Amino acid sequence: MAGEPNAFGWVKPAQTTVIDFYQADRDNPDKVARDTVRLHDYLLDNFNVDLKKTVYDVDPKERLNLMLASGEYPEVISAMDDDTVDKWKAQRKIIDLTPYVDQYGQNIKKALGDKYKTYLDEDGKLWGLPRGWGYLPGPDFTAHIRMDWYEEMGSPKIETPEDYYEVLKQMVAAHPTNAQGEKVYALSWNDQVNINNVMGIWGLKDGYKEDADHNLVHWLNTSEGLEAARFYNKIYRDGLLDPDLFINKFDDWKTKFANERIVGHIGSWWHSWNAGHEIWRNSVPDYQEDMRYVQIAIKAAGAENAYLSPKDARGWNYTVLTDKAKNPEAIIKFLDFTMSPIGTRLLGWGVPNEEDSLWNYEGDDKWSFNEAQKTALLDGTFDYEKSDQLGGNRFWLVHGQGLLEDDNKSTAWYDQNFVDEDKWKKLMYDNTKDTVYDNTARRVVFSVDNPYTLVNQQIEDLVKNGFAQAVTRKTEDEFVSTFNELRDKANKLGLQDLEKYRTEEYKKQLAILNQ
C-alpha cells in the first residue's frame, strides 16, 4: 500500500516511479532483457518502482553524441564519463542534483562520506552520481605461478623478480614440453597486460616513480624502469619468453596457457584462472585441485613496496538525470535507497527469498546467505548464467563496489563475499596483502579540451611499441640502446612536460582529498 514502508523500510510512492534509463555501455540487449525481468518485477511489486534498462550494441560514445545532436534521449542516463558529463552540462541537458540529494539523499551522503564533496564542481553543484565507487581490498594484478609444479619443487621462497625467474626456470627445466611436445615458456604476455602494472613490482606507482614531495617521473626516465624492461629482455634472450608475446591476443594467449605451455604470468589476477583451472576442471580427466595457478606478489630488492594494484575509488562513471526527467525527487529517493547497505545488497545480489536466490531477507534489516548457492560457489559448481537472471548487479545505477559499511565485509559482488571461506581466494589475498593502494588522486581526465590529451596518447603508443621492441632485442647492448632511444624519443615528444602536468594534477587532487 502506498504511503506505508515496505519490508525494507522504504516508503512506497503513491504513483509508480518510472526510471527508464539508458546505460552507456556496449552490451547485448537480448541478454539484458532476459536478466532483468525478475528483479524488475520484484521492484515493481515491492517498491512500486518501474526500473527499465536500455542498452545498445553500438559504441556508447557515438550513441550519446547522437542523442545530444538529435535531442532524443531518456530521463536517466547511466555510465556517462567525466568528459561527457561536462559536455551535457555545458549544453544544459542534465540537471543539477544537489537540491534533491540534499533533501532526499541521506544514504548517498552517508555512503560517500568525505568523498561526497569531491564530486561537486567549482560551484558546489552535483551533476552526476558516481557508480561503482570505492574498491575491494583484493588485488587486481599479481604475479602467478603454477601451484602443483611449485609444490613439486618444494615451494621455494619467492620474494624478488629474480627469485621468481629462478623458480620459473627450474619449472620449465622440469617440464620442457607439454603433452603434445610443444615448447614450454616461463612467461608470456597478452594484449590486456599493462606495462604499468609490471612496473609496480619495481616500486613504481602506476608507471611513475613518486618521491617524498609527490613529484612524478615516468618509468622511462628511471633506473627502475630500465631494470623492469631488462628483466623481460633477459628472459627473452634466454629463450624462455614466448617469442610471440606481443602478438598474442587474449584468446591466443589463453590457448597456449590452457595447453600448459606457460608456467608463470604477470597480469590480471583472474587471467590464470580463466585460462587455467576453470577450463581444466571440466576437461582434464582425474582433475586434481592443485592443478591451478596461484597469485603471488613479488617485489624488487630496492623497491619500497610492490605497488601492483592501483585502485581508483572515484567510480567508473556517473549516472545523470536529464532535463527530460519529470519526477527527479522520486528518482533520487529510490537511488538513495540503493545506496543504503540493504539496498545495495538487493541490487547487488538480486531477487531474495526464492529457492534459487543468492540470499534471503527476513525484514528489519535481517538477512542471510542462501547456503546452497554459497556452497555451490565455493565448490565451483555455481551456475553463473542462471544466477544472472536473478538480476544481481544488472541495475547498477549508483551503488558502490567496496565493502559495505554496516558489516565491513559484504560487497555487491556476490562471489567476493566469501574470501575467508574460499581457500584459493584467501590464499590470493594473503599473498598479495600489501600490494593494493589507493590511486584515486592520480586520476587525470584526458578530455577534448585538455592540451595534454594528444601528447599523452602519442607517448602511450610510442611506449607500448618501444617497450616491445626493447624486450625483443637479441643482445643486452642492443636492448640498452633501444631503451635509451625510446626514452629520448619520448622526452622529445614531451614526456617531461607530461610528467610535470601529472605531478601538478596529482598534488591538486591530494590537497582536495586531504581537506
342: closest CA among 133, 111, 502? 111
- Among 18, 44, 444, 493, interactor with other proteins by CB under 8 A: 493
d(CA 332, CA 323): 14
| Cell of residue 401, nine digits | 563496489
d(CA 223, CA 356): 55
Residue 385 near other proteins by CB under 8 A: yes
Buried b (16+ CB within 10 A) or exposed e, 231-243: bbbbbbbeebbbe
CB of 276 to other proteins, least distance (A): 11
Pick the closer one to other proteins by CB: 138 or 264.
138
| Cell of residue 161, nine digits | 623478480
Q: What is the dihedral of CA 463, 445, 435, 145, to 10 degrees?
A: -50
| Cell of residue 364, nine digits | 528489519
How far is CA 369 from each of CA 8, 357, 361, 385, rounded to the nearest angstrom? 17, 9, 9, 19
Report the phi/psi class of residue 214: left, alpha or beta, with left for phi > 0 and alpha for psi in -120 to 50: left
In three-state secondary structure terms, 458 is: helix
Task: Tell which positions 244-263 bind other proteins, by CB under 8 A.
Answer: 244, 246-247, 249, 251-252, 254-255, 258-259
CB of 183 to other proteins, least distance (A): 7
Residues touching other proteins, count (CB under 8 A): 73
Residue 422 near other proteins by CB under 8 A: no
**Residue keyed to cell 512500486:** 48
- Among 8, 116, 270, 437, interactor with other proteins by CB under 8 A: 270
- Contact flags string 132-161 toward other proteins, x per CB under 8 A: x---x---xx--------------------
Q: Which stretch, 6-14, 98-106, 297-305, 443-451, contacts other proteins (CB under 8 A)?
A: 443-451
Pick the closer one to other proteins by CB: 17 or 389.
389
Question: In sequence order, which residues have a C-beta less than 8 Å from that of residue 283 and are 6 or more positions away?
Answer: none
Task: Tell which positions 322-381 bind other proteins, by CB under 8 A.
Answer: none
Pick the closer one to other proteins by CB: 72 or 304.
72
d(CA 161, CA 172): 16
Pick the closer one to other proteins by CB: 218 or 261.
261
Task: Tell which positions 41-70 bind other proteins, by CB under 8 A.
Answer: 56-58, 61-62, 65-66, 68-70
Q: What is the DSSP letter of 416?
A: G
In three-state secondary structure terms, 213 is: coil
**Residue keyed to cell 612536460:** 497
Residue 469 near other proteins by CB under 8 A: yes
CB of 301 to other proteins, least distance (A): 27
CB of 406 to other proteins, least distance (A): 21
d(CA 489, CA 495): 9
CB of 135 to other proteins, least distance (A): 9
Residue 447 near other proteins by CB under 8 A: yes
Q: Which stretch, 85-93, 155-163, 208-216, 336-344, contacts other proteins (CB under 8 A)?
A: 85-93
Task: Tell which positions 200-239 bind other proteins, by CB under 8 A.
Answer: none
In three-state secondary structure terms, 80 is: strand
Question: In sequence order, which residues have a C-beta less than 8 Å from that of residue 403 and are 6 or more positions away?
Answer: 134, 136, 137, 409, 410, 411
What is the strand order of the sheet 49-54 is part of? 49-54, 17-23, 76-80, 317-321, 129-131
d(CA 281, CA 277): 6
H or E element that contains 266: strand 264-268
Task: Tell which positions 2-31 bind other proteins, by CB under 8 A.
Answer: 25-30
d(CA 294, CA 155): 12
CB of 269 to other proteins, least distance (A): 7
CB of 79 to other proteins, least distance (A): 10
Pick the closer one to other proteins by CB: 433 or 474.
474
CB of 102 to other proteins, least distance (A): 29
Residue 481 near other proteins by CB under 8 A: no
Residue 164 near other proteins by CB under 8 A: no
Task: Tell which positions 272-301 bind other proteins, by CB under 8 A.
Answer: 274-275, 278-279, 282-283
In three-state secondary structure terms, 279 is: helix
Q: Which stretch, 9-17, 205-213, 417-425, 450-458, contacts other proteins (CB under 8 A)?
A: 450-458
Q: Which stretch, 97-105, 299-307, 420-428, 451-459, contacts other proteins (CB under 8 A)?
A: 451-459
- Among 9, 20, 41, 91, interactor with other proteins by CB under 8 A: 91
- Among 454, 476, 508, 512, interactor with other proteins by CB under 8 A: 454
CB of 386 to other proteins, least distance (A): 12
Residue 458 near other proteins by CB under 8 A: yes
